[in-house]
Amino acid sequence: MQTLYDVLVWIHVASWVVVLLGYLKDISGPKVNQWMAQGLTAAFVLGLTLTAIASMSDDVADPNNAKVGVKLVIALVAVGLAHSTRKKPAPNPVAHVIAALVLVNVALAYLW
């Protein structure tokens, strides 16, 4: 179970990287593109899956529920913003907000 968990963690991290690369791709005329929306959705679903695995498995350390709750709320807001504003033309300043939320979420993951 630990191996599955570790693989899913790396895929989770890769999905956050996809979001940030999607943001950087269109930074000159910011817009929420498909890469950002799909990367956020994947990261959110993987976050839920990782939390479930960690909570149920004896092989994986139990998650910090306060940290997970804060991160999931931030990710849910980012996913909602991405999918609700994805079709708006550039410049779309919501892309900056989404990128900031992603950076806050990544910082919480490593600093908390």
**Burial level of 82, CB count in 10 A (0-12/13-18/19+)?**
buried
Tokens in use for 59? 């092989």
Q: Averaged over 59-69, what is the pLDDT?
A: 92
pLDDT tens, residue by residue, 67-110: 999 999 999 999 999 999 998 888 899 999 999 999 999 999 99
Residue 26 has pLDDT above 90, yes or no: no
Q: Does the predicted model carry a pTM greater than 0.85?
A: yes
Q: Averaged over 21-49, what is the pLDDT?
A: 94
How many CA atoms does the CB half-sphere of 108 hold within 13 Å?
A: 17
What is the overall mean pLDDT for the chain? 94
User: Position of tokens 């033309």?
Assistant: 89
The model's confidence at residue 44, banded by pLDDT at 50, 70 and 90, is very high
N-terminal to C-terminal alpha carbon distance within the chain: 24
Residue 79's contacts (CB-CB under 8 Å, 6 or more residues apart) are 37, 40, 41, 44
